Amino acid sequence: MKVEVKELKPNKAVIKIEDTKPYFVNALRRIMLSELPKLAIDDVIIYDNTSALFDEIVSHRLGLVPIPTDLSLLAFRDQCVCKGKGCPNCTVRYTLSKEGEGTVFSGDLQPAEKSWAITEDKIPIVELYGEQRLILEVEAILGRGRDHAKWQSIQAPSYRMLTTIEFDKKRANDVKAFVEKLPKDLVEIKGEKILLKDIKKLPIFESYIDKENIDFISIRRDPTKVLFSFETDGSFSAKDAILESAKILENKYSEMGKLLKNLK
Ligand SMILES: [Zn+2]
């Protein structure tokens, strides 16, 4: 297998994987969605809420705030030495106290320890007017996307098979006329092939082919070469997210391997 990083930003990555199979890339995609743990607010104690929003709505909004997660420092609460009571190994606590005119932002959540400060600090929670108040305390714990969507840190992980577009050489003039009518940023003709300028725009190109009943252009997808892309909500960097997910997948394969060896 060959892996090439095409784009790597703090919250976004595009990776080209060759000599692979779609089921493998899909397994990685599903691990990212449902198995990669992250912190999310799970308990909210409201001391005072005179804002226009109900306690439940405020709590729901807090649950969706991305919290920077360092998996090397945290344990799942139900597997922790505290036996589920909640301790610094499994629980991160924040307080929030705001009164008077203005917006309450995610960044107003004050962590018990500075290292857990919220980095996505401009997410509005509620607007306060006049003398309105919001005073609360929250607990964030590790969870997985398969338990609740608030524990899903990866957005829109997807893969596309790399594509070759070929045409009937005897119809080169028709191909040229067809391509000239298309939007400028879609494709270009290079030698005996048509190249997509952006692989994500393949469905648009296909829709033009369908619309005009073109029979001299053929599209071939290669299932051994895929472009895998995803974004994170800010709980992890894109790099950490893929490395942690790969680790989880590797463990699952080795667990499966061990179980199969025990078969008689
Ligand atoms: Zn604990």
In the reported structure, the alpha carbon of residue 139 is separated from the centroid of ligand 1 by a whole-number distance in angstroms of 12
Distance 79 CA to ligand 1 centre (A): 8
DSSP designation for 143: E
Task: Report how far ligand 1's centroid is from the alpha carbon of 50 (Å).
Answer: 33
C-beta atoms surrounding 144 within 10 Å: 17
Instruction: Give the distance (Å) from ligand 1 centre to CA of residue 34.
Output: 23
**pLDDT tens digits for range 171-219:** 888 888 888 889 888 998 888 889 888 888 889 999 999 998 888 898 8
Tell me the per-residue pLDDT of 74-89, one tens digit each, with 9 for 90 and over. 999 999 999 999 999 9
pTM for this prediction = 0.83
Q: Read off the pLDDT of residues 155-165 as tens digits, 9 standing for 90 and up.
A: 999 999 998 89
Ligand 1 geometric centre to CA of 82 (Å): 4
43 Cα–ligand 1 center, Å: 15
Torsion, CA 99, CA 101, CA 106, CA 110, rounded to 10: -30
